[in-house]
């Protein structure tokens, strides 16, 4: 349903220069599927989400295709995109307070999300909003309908945002670090809620996170992004059992759970390269434990087990990824 094909995004910065925030990403999210998009800060995850939502910084250049249920979103006018947002695709971001109007009742905001896209009466919208608030676990939703956001905790606010995002049964939900601001037990509750709701409705989810534990808990597939590119993707089971890209391995090794006994948390040395001037060849080469001569050239993208793919010279004996029919 969501097919991202060779998407590139350049964002203008000062001095007539550009940041290549996304450098040729191909990725899909199927119906009812949750795909975890991981990578360090600054790797282009949010910009890729923005490219799908039609919400890029002004002056940005976008190339490639973003197909939603076969329809190319790139050609849409601002007005058409506004209609698609909240109806066919929806966004849940890190800070629920930023998504809610502080001066309006939470229930009215969910009802408005429905009425913006459907020709239904106030009363019906209110009833559906109460139902949605119940579905996301707001206790006594009929009574809480009229409360303003500040009467809700962070976790409860994020539940309201999720209710509004799912109000019109979107095909795809982009969830950008939806639980990062919440405490750990609430995080798990919200993620499982998100999973239950979307699996039931068939909504596909692109779950952006820097937390591999989150991916292990709720995702079907994982895509690992480094310096604007997806370096490895596959099923969660395959990639966690046997990460093929040295960056994926380094990320997995740096997760706290893997090293709780030694108390020594390995970090990945070095930094994500400056994307105003991305390095030629493999972008991870400067930090890679297994770098060798060939890494000065762009790595081949090859097919791995279970329909996965990896972009790394260590695996160039695997079959190249077939050209996608589009």
Binding site for ligand ADP (CB under 6 A): 11, 13, 19, 21, 39, 41-47, 57, 275
| CA-closest candidate to residue 50, choices 73, 33, 31 | 73
Work out the burial of residue 264: count CB atoms within 10 Å of its CB; fewer than 13 is exposed, 13-18 middle, 19 or more buried. exposed
**Residue 42 binding partner per list ligand ADP, Mg ion, none, with a CB distance cut-off of 5 to 8 Å that depends on partner kind:** ligand ADP
**Least Cβ distance, residue 40 to ligand ADP (angstroms):** 7
**Residue 11 binding partner per list ligand ADP, Mg ion, none, with a CB distance cut-off of 5 to 8 Å that depends on partner kind:** ligand ADP
For residue 6, report the phi and psi dihedrals to the nearest 5 degrees.
50, 50
**Least Cβ distance, residue 43 to ligand ADP (angstroms):** 4
Q: Is the dihedral of CA 8, 81, 167, 126 positive or negative?
A: positive
């905790």: which residue's tokens? 153
- Nearest CB to ligand ADP, comparing residues 208 and 312: 208
- Nearest CB to ligand ADP, comparing residues 2 and 129: 2
Count the site residues for Mg ion by CB under 5 A.
2
- Nearest CB to Mg ion, comparing residues 45 and 309: 45
- Nearest CB to Mg ion, comparing residues 46 and 187: 46
For residue 59, report the phi and psi dihedrals to the nearest 5 degrees.
85, -5
**Least Cβ distance, residue 13 to Mg ion (angstroms):** 17
Residues 244/314, Cβ–Cβ less than 8 Å: yes
**Least Cβ distance, residue 31 to ligand ADP (angstroms):** 25
**Least Cβ distance, residue 42 to ligand ADP (angstroms):** 4
Work out the burial of residue 68: count CB atoms within 10 Å of its CB; fewer than 13 is exposed, 13-18 middle, 19 or more buried. buried
For residues 316 and 204, give the distance between their C-alpha atoms in angstroms, rounded to a whole number: 31
- Nearest CB to ligand ADP, comparing residues 47 and 99: 47
- Torsion-angle region of residue 235: left (phi > 0), alpha (psi -120 to 50) or beta? beta
- Nearest CB to ligand ADP, comparing residues 105 and 181: 181
Give the x-and-dash track for 24-53 against Mg ion (CB under 5 A): ---------------------xx-------
Q: Is the dihedral of CA 122, 123, 128, 133 positive or negative?
A: positive
Q: Does 179 bind Mg ion (CB under 5 A)?
A: no
Q: Which residues bind Mg ion (CB under 5 A)?
A: 45-46
């Amino acid at each position: 349903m969501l097919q991202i094909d060779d998407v590139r995004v350049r964002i203008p910065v000062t001095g007539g220069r550009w940041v290549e925030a996304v450098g040729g990403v191909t990725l899909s999210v199927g119906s009812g599927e949750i795909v975890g998009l991981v990578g360090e800060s600054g790797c282009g995850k949010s910009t890729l989400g923005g490219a799908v939502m039609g919400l890029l910084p002004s002056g940005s250049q976008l190339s490639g295709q973003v197909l939603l249920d076969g329809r190319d979103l790139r050609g849409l006018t601002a007005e058409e995109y506004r209609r698609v947002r909240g109806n066919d695709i929806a966004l849940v971001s890190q800070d629920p307070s930023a998504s809610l109007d502080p001066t309006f009742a939470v229930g009215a905001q969910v009802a408005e999300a429905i009425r913006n896209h459907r020709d239904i009466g106030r009363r019906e919208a209110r009833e559906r909003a109460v139902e949605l608030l119940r579905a996301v676990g707001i206790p006594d939703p009929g009574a809480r309908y009229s409360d303003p956001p500040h009467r809700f905790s962070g976790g409860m606010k994020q539940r309201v945002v999720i209710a509004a995002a799912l109000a019109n049964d979107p095909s795809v939900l982009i969830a950008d670090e939806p639980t990062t601001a919440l405490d750990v037990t609430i995080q798990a509750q919200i993620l499982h809620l998100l999973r239950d709701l979307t699996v039931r409705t068939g909504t596909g989810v692109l779950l952006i996170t820097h937390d591999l534990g989150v991916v292990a808990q709720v995702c079907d597939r994982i895509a690992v992004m480094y310096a604007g590119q997806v370096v490895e993707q596959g099923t969660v089971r395959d990639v966690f059992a046997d990460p093929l890209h040295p960056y994926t391995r380094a990320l997995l090794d740096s997760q706290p759970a893997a090293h709780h006994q030694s108390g020594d948390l390995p970090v990945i040395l070095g930094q994500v390269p400056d994307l105003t001037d991305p390095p030629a060849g493999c972008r991870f080469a400067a930090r890679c434990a297994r770098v060798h001569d060939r890494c000065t050239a762009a790595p081949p993208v090859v097919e791995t087990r279970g329909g996965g793919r990896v972009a790394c010279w260590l695996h160039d004996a695997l079959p190249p990824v077939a050209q996608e029919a589009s």
